[in-house]
A = this chain, B = another copy of it.
């Protein structure tokens, strides 16, 4: 009981259309992640589903029932607001129990649920504080807590972990995944964190300027991005892209690498930074001069520039002994290559 369907949803704010006809079916119990550049309409879409905004046109169905005209309170969803929207005059405990009291739940049950959420979110000793006395991350956790205590049929989570540290984020992610499993609740999750998106999602919806670019499972999205936008957006750092001409089934990359391609005419070749590695002595590689070396510890990001002036980014495991200004040849396995036509659509 938590399938959600959007049919031709459009939304304008005072003349500016920000959602241009979204069609999407979300199955009961599915965990769908919305990703997309800042301002692409993720929050707006969530608010439309929640019932906090009315679509300019289109239908929203929950469990097959048209709820387009139904108020937020009657849709039975729970939401974590991007801006938290905590009740400033209530303590954390009151913030958490407010929704439960509205359902006329017995006191004991409320207490138990609040305690459970507090444990899960590690905010047990903040329960008597008010939002103004919390740190950013603590507030965000309270905001999450307010949604999860309700055990609703569907969750709408708008960047719920953005202000948490890596460790806590990992824990919280695991907790949310566990919750999702346990309740079997539908979840719509907005995030900018690729790891979250990849690990949590059953399906990822990639949005761009109020339109859906691709909907697929995380690995499909990663391995077979439908177009240049998705290719560039999924994966970090972004995929390296080379514009070139395919002639007679072959295309040539900087450094003279010559590859077979199933197309003719202008094409774009994409190769992920993680798939580049320093070329062996007898290997063909793209020569580049290093402009910036970012050592992240476990891996190192090399920002280079090819001889033809194109930027090139590679991610190398560990902490290789390379320095800025050094010239390097970077090789890759042609199987890892992505190919797009001139219109940006994937080929093959």
What range describes how many residues of A lie at the interface? 35 or more
Q: A38-B138, A297-B235 are in contact. Are A192 and B164 (CB under 8 A)?
A: yes
Contacts of A158 in B (CB 8 A): 136
Does any Cβ of B come within 8 Å of A198's Cβ?
yes
Pick the interface stretch among A58-66, A217-225, A252-260: A217-225
Name the segment of A21-29, A94-102, A166-174, A323-331 touching the other chain.
A166-174
Docked-complex contact A317 and B274, CB < 8 angstroms: yes
Q: Please, which residue of chain B has its CB at the minimum distance from the CB of A273?
A: B298
A272 to chain B, nearest CB (A): 6
CB atoms of B163 and A198 under 8 A apart: no
Q: Are B136 and A198 in contact (CB under 8 A)?
A: no
> Is there contact, CB below 8 Å, between A232 and B82?
no
Residues of A contacting B: mostly = mixed
Does A17 touch B at the CB level, under 8 Å?
Answer: no
Task: Report whether A295 and B198 are in contact in the complex, using a CB–CB cutoff of 8 Å.
Answer: yes
A 10-55 contacts with B by CB, 8 A: 13, 35-39, 41-44
Residue from B39, B194, B199 in contact with A135 in the complex, judged by beta carbons closer than 8 Å? B39
A141 within 8 A of B: yes
User: Which residues of the other chain, B, contact A301 by a CB distance below 8 angstroms?
Assistant: 199
Task: Determine the chain B residues whose CB is within 8 A of the CB of A319 once the complex forms.
Answer: 219, 223
Contact A38 B219 (CB under 8 A): no
Given the contacts A83-B136, A136-B43, A165 and B297 also touching, CB distance less than 8 Å? no
Binary B-proximity of A314-339 (CB < 8 A = 1, otherwise 0) = 01011100000000000000000000
Whether, in the assembled complex, A133 has its beta carbon less than 8 Å from a beta carbon of chain B, the answer is yes
Q: Are A198 and B297 in contact (CB under 8 A)?
A: yes
CA distance A346 to B309 in the complex (A): 46
Query: Could you say which residues of chain B place their CB within 8 Å of the CB of A193?
Result: 166
Contact B199 A167 (CB under 8 A): no
Q: How far is the CA of A174 from the CA of B236 in the complex (A)?
A: 14
Most buried by B among A133, A140, A192: A192
24 inter-chain pairs at a CB distance below 8 angstroms, sorted by A residue, are A36-B165, A37-B137, A37-B165, A38-B141, A39-B135, A39-B138, A43-B136, A137-B192, A162-B162, A164-B192, A165-B192, A166-B238, A167-B233, A170-B236, A194-B296, A195-B294, A198-B295, A199-B296, A218-B297, A219-B319, A222-B298, A235-B297, A274-B318, A317-B317
